Amino acid sequence: MEYKKDFDTWNKKKKEIDSKNVSNDHFVNEREIWWGSLGLNIGFEQDGKNDNFERPLLVIKKFNKEIVWVIPLTTVAKNNKFHYKLKSSGSFVILSQIRLVSTKRFIRRAERIAESEFAKIISKIKELFP
């Protein structure tokens, strides 16, 4: 059976997310992993799951309280230069999927990774841009 994406339900959820105010309780910082509504996307872009179309996201760069660069995480192991295994959780950061998102998408904070591990991830990102 072919998997069909439910874009209509995601579109309704996306409208809800867009209409909410950025909460002052969302003190988002670099190195934090947040569960966020990433939605349904096109092709091989990472999709969110469950009712909130969510997945874990590592905050790479905070521009202000409303906008950040994130990298989605996965539990699927791939041995290539685009995946980096987190020591803390065993999840993999998908380096090639870095993207700009609104903090309106954030649902809850999960953890904060160590500075040394974050530095390795930043180094891996820089290697992708020779």
CA pseudo-torsion sign 18, 24, 25, 28:
positive
What residue segments make up the domains of the chain, in order of their start?
23-127
24 sits in the region (left: phi over 0; alpha: psi -120 to 50; else beta) called alpha
Specify the pLDDT at position 129. Answer: 87
Specify the pLDDT at position 1. Answer: 66
Mean pLDDT of 80-107: 92
Specify the pLDDT at position 69. Answer: 97
CATH fold for domain 23-127:
SH3 type barrels. (2.30.30)
Its pTM stands at 0.85
- Which one is predicted more confidently, 1 or 20? 20
